[in-house]
Amino acid sequence: MRIFLTLLFASMIHAQASLIDYDHPYHSTYTNKGIVVSQNYLSSDIGVEILDQGGNAVDAAIAVGFSLAATLPRAGNIGGGGFMQIYIEKDKTILSLDFRSTAPALATREFYQELKSQDDDVTRKGYKAIAVPGTIAGLYKAHELYGSLPMETLLQPTIDLLTQGVPMTQDLYHAINIGKYISDDPESHEIYKKNLEPNSPLFIEDLKQTFIKLQKFGQDVFYRGEIADLIEKEMLKNDGLIRKSDLENYKVNITQPIKTTYRDKQIFAMGAPSGGGVVILTALNVLENFQLSGLAPNSARTYHLLSETLKYGHQNRSKLVGDPGYFDVPYDMLLSKKLAKEKAKKISLTSATNPKNINKFGDRINSSYKESKDTTHYSVVDKDGNGVSVTYTLGYSFGSGVTIPGTGMLTNNQMNNFAHNYGLIDSYFRSSSPANKLEPSKRPMSTMTPVMVFDSKGKLELITGSPGGSQIPGVVFQVLVNYIDFDLDIGEASMLPRIHQDSQSTKLNYEKHMSSDTQRILESYGHNLELSDTMGSTQSIAIIDGVRFGYADLRRPNASVSVQK
């Protein structure tokens, strides 16, 4: 049983006092009503404001998604894309929305290979880095399926916030200051850099007007109307590839999550074009063959097993995960329990496996395939038990750096996430993956994966997810293991030191608050340790006996839990 607080009674000479003590300092916020956990306190409050108006979890998630474009502009977006997982308590429905950005119809593999041979940054910054944005279509599709309040109501809190000005937090000020690509774009520089002051609110009038237009005219103004015209105009002016037809043809995919069983739980994750879900479920399938009950959650042996199983997880996404509209992803093989057991037999309890022996690749490593950590996740549960888990992104921090004039909208750099070396080299590295090669109108693979966990009786027990690029699967995986195997409450499960192990690197990254003894033992096992910055920012909700416990990861500032009173 999870222990949230322990009562200690001390007898004293003249009186008896009741003292409260705690197992750890990472305290969750709990309620039996609606709860929202996001990477910004204002956005979490906006989600609860919608719940207080009678909205459901989907309504709140839509409002939070719009608001983060203002409160967390480096990652929150309407110019990017992502994934949403929805659970409806009444009929036990669970589904996923894929609103991942897509390549423009004019984008070809040969075109980008030629450009990257001259400038490797061409898929990271500027107009050619931008893929067709899907966030607005995704939020509107969620509303069409399960929204209960008018969309105008869900947009209004962000309009109000932009009218008042977004508070310039220390984190926002710092992010803008170090924002690399926004310095190169005249419109972004005007909005974010030119008049930057530590304590002055941020006003983005064009973004406010974009939301007002969405209120009046719906998503068609973005994909077919005035905003689409503005996007095409700037693309033509700056040699970008997106055309109005790309926006008109954009579609949200409604899918079923992929799943596995782990111990007595059911774990639901995002399917392709997410590779993150495959990593998590594969790693869980392999780890299931080991008993962790005799280990401590932060022991060297535990981290060793996490590292070894993550190698196989990342191996599974490297070559065989891509847009399912273009590539038949072999889930039966990737998520096979039998195959996972065979892989588990190859793991030594005291010796690290060299990733080269798993992948059979040579020494040549292409380092240009970089997955950004600048994404964001949020989780929502309403009073009726409906749940929503959302991870979405601009790609790099502030995306491509480009703000489309007249819209206030920052744009993504998701063209960077294709395997641009396909056809140039044949290797086991992701940069040449046949499943993720660039094709017109295709969605690039992503490590983003919102996750939901259900208990043995089919009741929703946990919602979580994280930013972090290639670290996302490992971050979420470790929260799940800490929560399920070690019976930790969601606060402690979130805050234990984390590791990151890819199948394409001999490095085992670790957070600096891991103990030196643990590091020493891992090195004795043959792990090549490398100190990392903090990993991820999980925004989680655990549900125990009808009570919702929310925890906002402390690794990134201004994340917050908001609850209905």
CB-facing half-sphere around the CA of 97: CA atoms within 13 A: 30
Residue 375 a catalytic site member: yes
Reported as a single tens digit per residue, the pLDDT across 51-72 is: 999 999 999 999 999 999 999 9
Cβ(392)–Cβ(448) below 8 Å = yes
pLDDT at 164: 97
pLDDT at 371: 67
Cβ(227)–Cβ(244) below 8 Å = no
Instruction: Indicate whether 78 pLDDT > 70.
Output: yes
How far is Cα 462 from Cα 383, in angstroms, rounded to an integer? 15
Say which of 375, 403, 449, 464 is annotated catalytic: 375
The token pair that represents 62 in the structure block: 């839509």
- Give the residues across from 84 on adjacent strands: 97, 390
pLDDT at 357: 77
Reported as a single tens digit per residue, the pLDDT across 383-437 is: 999 999 999 999 999 999 999 999 999 999 999 999 999 998 776 678 889 999 9
The residue whose two tokens read 């060793």 is 304
pLDDT confidence tier of residue 19, bands split at 50, 70 and 90: low
Instruction: Indicate whether 13 pLDDT > 90.
Output: no
User: Cis omega before residue 273 (within 30°)?
Assistant: yes
The residue whose two tokens read 């944005």 is 133
**CA distances (Å), origin 65, targets 31, 81, 92, 155, 377:** 22, 11, 24, 10, 10
How far is Cα 280 from Cα 548, in angstroms, rounded to an integer? 24
Instruction: Indicate whether 14 pLDDT > 80.
Output: no
Mean pLDDT, the chain, integer: 93
**CA distances (Å), origin 155, targets 38, 102, 121, 312:** 17, 25, 35, 43
pLDDT at 96: 98
Q: Spell out the SS3 assignment of 369-435.
A: CCCCCCEEEEEEECCCCCEEEEEEECCCCCCCCCEECCCCEECCCHHHHCCCCECCECCCCHHHCCC
How far is Cα 549 from Cα 492, in angstroms, rounded to an integer? 12
Helix (H, G, I), strand (E, B) or coil at 254: strand
Domain ranges in the chain are: 52-83+100-250+396-432, 255-349+447-563
pLDDT at 487: 97
More confident residue, 293 or 49: 49
Q: What is the DSSP string of 9-73?
A: EEE-SS-EEEEEE-S-S---EEESS-EEEESSHHHHHHHHHHHHTT--HHHHHHHHHHHHHHHST
Q: Give the residue from 386, 399, 391, 441 showing the smallest Cα distance to 418.
A: 441
Average pLDDT over residues 223-237: 98
- Percent of the chain whose predicted confidence (pLDDT) is above 90: 88
**CA distances (Å), origin 275, targets 216, 269, 324, 445, 446:** 37, 10, 11, 6, 6
Instruction: Indicate whether 374 pLDDT > 90.
Output: no
Q: Give the residue from 241, 270, 231, 275 showing the smallest Cα distance to 253.
A: 270
Q: What is the pTM of this model?
A: 0.95
pLDDT confidence tier of residue 528, bands split at 50, 70 and 90: very high
pLDDT at 18: 52
Cβ(320)–Cβ(314) below 8 Å = no
pLDDT confidence tier of residue 265, bands split at 50, 70 and 90: very high
Q: What's 255-349+447-563's CATH class? A: alpha beta
pLDDT at 429: 79
Instruction: Indicate whether 8 pLDDT > 90.
Output: no
Average pLDDT over residues 302-307: 98
Which of 227-231, 259-263, 355-359, 548-552 is least confident?
Answer: 355-359
Average pLDDT over residues 490-505: 96
